[in-house]
A and B are shown apart, each in its own frame.
Chain A
């Protein structure tokens, strides 16, 4: 019995989380297991996570999804990074590009060389050496190549897409693979002797039994919280935003190949360009701003005709104490919420799913596997949490009470160590992070104007005049490569126009 394959999986909730889970599980389990997804047309989906990070491509590939086909279906555009405006000070701007900066030399990171020239008065920003950044700002895009010698291999890309359409697209994939969709609202959950979930009852009276339950029910956490009382870790003392207001607007220009995040008085505003429209939203903190004020600000700062009524969302930033409890795994908003500042919502969904497949249980539900899953997922959330806090904590703004709070708040020790180490030595602390690595931290640390006091002593082993020449060449190579790239819109038209 113990070693038998799970025969019945019940996914509660559709949306991107539900259908991503259904598509992936059916891909790996084939028809050996009955997978049902319960969702109700009456419950809307949140669907904020329209911007992604490059890991999404790996997930799509594992599912056997054709990229151009999926992009057409979801009105997707390419994404080379995220631009942050007014974060450090009003008027400041930097990008977190999905790209390397220059090339490391003699075992020393590129940024140490850049720092030296910067200290000598060279004002070239480090982004000038990033093919991803330079292309993004010129509204250009071409798929990177695989030749490690080419500068065109030194950036990555993700997508902006319509999350609702992505869910529908994956629904087709999943249903084709045999996933059964059941229309209905869950009204009751009953537990088994082991304290896990036995079945869910729908409004219609139908009762659905399962061996493994996946909670994709959104903020409510119908299974993981309402039924299993798993508990929640609150992150709001470090990430105080608790609301968002979103509207869609008509495109007035060709889509940019990057997301924008513009700091506002009590939070920040996103701008996510799709092929046919633009997604906009203001993430804010109620303590400092009313809904009406937020809506006003948002509408003042959008371009193009407003297509939808402003919709207000509330959230509680944090995570579940456990992501896998008994026979229930939580994926998506039911597992926790981290504001979409670094476009991690979809990524956390895909990570949860792939880790579940990696640690997939049999009917015995081994506790060591569950512990390992929870260990890994907690780490994921904590890592993203720290990366997000970095953006707020390192602001120099104190022009509004919100920013003054962020600037002065206490932060987790691991993050303050990281900031301190970078300031004093230019080193990025070694870590086991999966999502954001050296280049990502570097982009935001430098972008937020944290200048290390010193560069690596080995930098001085290259003669300054020669170093200037090498750096000039690197910049030239980037500019030349970008000059040869087609426009973002041209590339969309060629491959994936909706």
Chain B
């Protein structure tokens, strides 16, 4: 006899925990499901989190109004990721959420670009992307209803103030009847089959549940220990293992609708801005640099090189272990968030996967304490995590320079068979593996590879017999005038959020 799920207990009163509570209650409104959230004393997220464009549909399904969500969380738009300095000082490239325009149905955009390049008459790849050009100039706009040019349909993610996003999700949760228990988690209780039945709090309180969602950020959470669940590190010795983050006000600077990654000699610098603040994170290997060196370097970088001024903010260091738990749903317990999956922080959209995981979970909502759905859920998420780590590994191995120990070690990274195949396929004729359920779209693979200087040796052979004009010069000039007519991102946000 199966027991229907009546009560879900979320472990981790943090950003992930409240997102889970708000999402699950929104999707199961009216089902009588009770949700209780408990603190396990694990830390907090980075000050700014980013989501990719595909997460917008999750917000929509929660019934959230974009304007309200953004106003309440100081959120800024994010058109994609800028790569700075990956092909030498001053170089710039962009990986957009927006797919390039459809040229001649069958052939992908990069083939048209390659064709023009071979005839020697073409600009950088990103010059044909409205998203890239708008991001670079700090501009943003929605398509005008009067002029529904398909080019202006930009896909965007969001950059949130984490604390405000948590407060927002917290109040959604509370309004939906989610209870927040006092005290912190001490231990779990299980029945004779090992299925978790309750958690015990520091206050002596016992919180019973049918299903548990572990959003803990601890390296080994209480539930991990219960299930003896191990974390699988992607690398024997990870090429990056530490981050240093600093947050500064950005009101005096142009606000770019993007995240960015800049290649530096001993690591990379990520930047991401909400409406008021910019988080700058340096990702590096602690065997090569001391925290002190990093702090000094980071601060100097932020306050414009050799200023003697007092640093305006604190540097926060965190450990980084790329990899994932070997299962993400065991018995009646789901594991999500940074404790479950960590990337190398090359891509800035880690937080998206929290929502993706929640979406999959509700799609596969358990019927009982031992739902067979866990098999399917684990199959999905393990494949997704693998693909994301694979993608990053390939991106890192196409190193920015040959000189420092850091980049030399990245160059030596061993690629999975699938990535070796993808690289060979793209190098020869600019082709991409067909993956239907991919988290990373084909055009994003192309943009990443081109940004790393992987330019195919030859083009698709049938491009040479296609006598259709590529239309690239027209596209470029159209993009130019569209960008010129767009308001600045800041102006747009001001108007949008105050309406």
Report which A residues bind B (CB closer than 8 A).
2-3, 5-6, 28-30, 32-33, 62, 106-107, 357-362, 364, 366-369, 371-372, 376, 417, 420-421, 424-425, 427, 429-434, 454, 456-458, 460-461
Contact = CB atoms under 8 A, between A and B. Distances in A.
B431 interface: yes
A362 B456 CA distance: 14
B370 to A, nearest CB: 10
B429 to A, nearest CB: 7
Interface string B357-375: 0000011111100011101
B234 to A, nearest CB: 23
Contacts of A460: 31
Contact of A421 (B2, B28, B31, B372): B372
Given A372-B433, A430-B437, A458 B428 contact: no
Q: Which of A3, A364, A434 has the most CB of B within 10 A?
A: A3
Contacts of B144: none
A420 B461 CA distance: 45
A425 B367 contact: yes
Nearest 4 A/B pairs, CB to CB: A368-B424, A424-B372, A32-B465, A362-B461
B460 interface: yes
Given A358-B106, A427-B364, A427-B376, A454 B2 contact: yes
B436 to A, nearest CB: 4
A456 B31 CA distance: 12
B412 interface: no
B436 A366 contact: no
A62 B376 CA distance: 37
B61 A369 contact: no
Interface in B413-460: 421, 424-425, 427-429, 431, 433-437, 457-458, 460
Nearest to A454: B367
A333 B284 CA distance: 56
Given A3-B458, A433-B436, 20 more contacts: A6-B461, A28-B462, A32-B465, A33-B465, A107-B27, A357-B106, A358-B106, A361-B461, A362-B429, A368-B425, A421-B372, A425-B373, A427-B376, A432-B437, A434-B436, A456-B365, A458-B27, A458-B28, A458-B31, A460-B31
B304 interface: no
B163 interface: no
B4 interface: yes
A461 B26 CA distance: 12
Given A107-B61, A457-B365, A368 B428 contact: yes
A84 B363 CA distance: 31
Nearest to A459: B31
B380 interface: yes
A358 B432 CA distance: 10
6 contacts: A357-B106, A360-B462, A368-B428, A454-B2, A457-B4, A458-B27
A427 B380 CA distance: 13
Interface in B256-285: none
Contacts of B61: 107
A357 B30 contact: no
A425 B377 CA distance: 12
Nearest to A417: B375
Contacts of B376: 421, 425, 427, 429-430
Given A5-B465, A432-B437, A366 B428 contact: yes
Nearest to B434: A376
